[in-house]
Amino acid sequence: MDLGVDLGTTRTTVAVSDRGNYPVVGFLDTDDDVREWLPSVVARTGPGTQGLLFGYAALDAVAQGAPVLRSFKRAMAAPDVGPHTELLVGDEPVALADLLTGFLSALGEALRTRSTVSGEDLGRTVVSVPAHAHSAQRFLTLEAFRAAGFDVVQMVNEPSAAGFEYSHRKTRTLTRQRNRVVVYDLGGGTFDASLVTIDGPQHDVDASLGLNRLGGDDFDAVLADLTLARAGAGEADRRGTAYLDLLEQAREAKERLAPQSRRVVLDVAGEPVTVPVEDFYEAAAPLVTRTMEAMAPLVHGLDEGTPADVAGLYLVGGASALPLVPRLLRERFGRRVHRAPMPAASTAIGLAIASDQGSDYSLRDRLSRAVGVFREGGAGREVAFDQILGRDQRVVPGQDLSVRRRYRAAHNVGHFRFVEFTGAGGTPQGDLVPFGEVVVPFDPALRDGRDLREVPVRRVDGPEVEEVYTVDGNGMVEVAITDLQTGYAVRRQLGAQPA
């Protein structure tokens, strides 16, 4: 049975491919009730990684007073993140790579023993990442799934996967004249938007934009802070375990809101505090506005009734279920706003469609970040920048793309500092993320294992050098820098180590 796994900031959702159907997997919580997700939560009950609990077991431990870490996926968006990045769970640090692997191992165990697919053979797995995820985030995700025992065959951007779910569920809305969809994906920790052209089973992503740190967690914080303000609490009350408990209350209350809801009641220090829903919506509206501003280039003219080829704006992601979100979007874009029937599961269902070996769905995505390199120049006195890949570069699952640079080295040592960035125009601008440095000894005498960072750069008549950049179908980049005279080469999976 092939799987689609959406590793979420607050909840992780799984769907399966079953003879052309794509049901969402139910998990048994500790009361044996069935839930359509596994909480993305870790708690500590003892020292070391052996003392960590995940999912529903973690929530039970938290109820008994265990320290907890929620929304750990958000740490993966940091520009300096790497496999050895540490997070505190209680008072003890845990390597992010170990935490992710532990959670996904618990997910695999829950699938095999405490789910609606228990006893089934788990086959190929397709997983997701935010569309604007940088290389280190993609690397960490892929490595953690594989270390946890999943047979990962493909990694798909979250809104691209939701595009599959849209065309599977809403085929009748697509015509030759209206064959494009804007996927609005507001999850627990991130916001993504993609413009997708759909021609039968073929999906072409025209562009993707997003915000790496905006999601349902931020709406929870708005509601919690409003509640504290109405209770007359001070700044000190916005820290510690009591505030974390209040955030959890806010999340649960937010998810219960319906269009007809008028008030929210939360508990502060044992006393009920009432917040009018409209006050919450007024305070949270700027968050929705930020998402609309971020995706503005994708929907230009849609609020004026054009472009005519856009079939609709499709709302997915758990946080898009908040009634405020479709209300504000419909005020701006009218009837073309479609809310997914299962917004929290749309990405997982789309991933399951992608995993279906009998499906004829296909995808051509794009890089959401440009890739470039700073190189030494002028005997180390200058730095030159070279954009290797643009944001419009096509990425096709299962296919690799190579870009080459060939030149004669002019220095004894080559320093290559790689960056990803969201700006356009061939210069490193916008959201810039350093994601690796490679130092290459062009002088054969320096290839003895010494620390090349301590070697002064000087001009020499160096060898002919070739740089080969390979982008795989998951959007990950590998570089190979080769001395063509001797065959000496340095290879690096960019994003695999901290920059």
Clarify whether residues 22 and 120 are in a common domain.
yes
Clarify whether residues 152 and 271 are in a common domain.
no
What does the block give as tokens for 57?
Answer: 């077991």
Cα(104)–Cα(107) distance, integer angstroms: 5
Contact 355, 4 (CB under 8 A): yes
Cis status of the peptide bond prior to 286, with omega within 30 of 0 = no
What total of structural domains would you count in the chain?
A: 3
Clarify whether residues 69 and 200 are in a common domain.
yes
498 occurs within a structural domain: no
Return the amino acid letter for 9. Answer: T
Domain that holds residue 149: 2-214+288-365
459 occurs within a structural domain: yes
Q: Last residue of some domain: 237, 252, 285?
A: 285
499 occurs within a structural domain: no
Q: Last residue of some domain: 365, 380, 410?
A: 365
Q: Indicate which CATH number applies to the domain containing 483.
A: 2.60.34.10
374 occurs within a structural domain: yes
Clarify whether residues 193 and 275 are in a common domain.
no
What pLDDT sits at residue 173? 84
Clarify whether residues 46 and 133 are in a common domain.
yes
123 occurs within a structural domain: yes
Residues constituting the chain: 499
Q: Indicate which CATH number applies to the domain containing 258.
A: 3.90.640
| Closest listed residue to residue 495, CA positions, set 438, 426, 423, 413 | 438
Task: For tokens 């073929």, name the residue.
Answer: 202
What does the block give as tokens for 261?
Answer: 């809801």
Clarify whether residues 269 and 299 are in a common domain.
no
Which DSSP state fits 487? Answer: -
pTM score, two decimals? 0.89
Clarify whether residues 171 and 71 are in a common domain.
yes
Contact 213, 190 (CB under 8 A): yes
34 occurs within a structural domain: yes
Clarify whether residues 200 and 313 are in a common domain.
yes
Backbone dihedral region of 452: left (phi > 0), alpha (psi from -120 to 50 degrees) or beta? alpha
Clarify whether residues 136 and 234 are in a common domain.
no
Which residue stretches of 334-405 are H helix?
Answer: 346-355
Q: What does the pLDDT profile of the chain (499 residues) look like in tens digits? A: 899 999 999 999 999 999 889 999 999 999 999 999 999 999 999 998 899 999 999 999 998 989 999 999 999 988 888 878 999 999 999 999 999 999 999 999 999 999 999 999 999 999 999 988 888 889 899 999 999 999 999 999 999 999 999 999 888 888 888 899 999 999 999 999 999 999 988 999 998 888 888 999 999 999 999 999 999 876 656 767 788 889 999 999 999 999 999 999 999 988 999 999 999 999 999 999 999 999 998 888 777 766 778 888 999 999 999 999 999 999 998 888 999 999 999 999 999 999 998 888 899 998 888 899 998 766 556 788 999 998 888 888 888 999 999 999 999 999 999 998 887 666 777 777 887 789 999 999 999 999 998 899 889 999 999 999 999 988 889 999 999 999 999 999 887 754 4
Q: Last residue of some domain: 365, 400, 432?
A: 365
383 occurs within a structural domain: yes
Clarify whether residues 304 and 390 are in a common domain.
no
385 occurs within a structural domain: yes
What does the block give as tokens for 333?
Answer: 């874009």
Return the amino acid letter for 146. Answer: R
Cα-to-chain-centroid distance, residue 279: 31
Clarify whether residues 275 and 296 are in a common domain.
no
What is the tens place of the pLDDT at every residue in 111-162?
Answer: 999 999 999 999 999 999 998 888 888 989 999 999 999 999 999 999 999 9
Q: Indicate which CATH number applies to the domain containing 7.
A: 3.30.420.40
What is the tens place of the pLDDT at every residue in 202-239?
Answer: 999 998 888 888 999 999 999 999 999 999 876 656 76
Clarify whether residues 139 and 7 are in a common domain.
yes
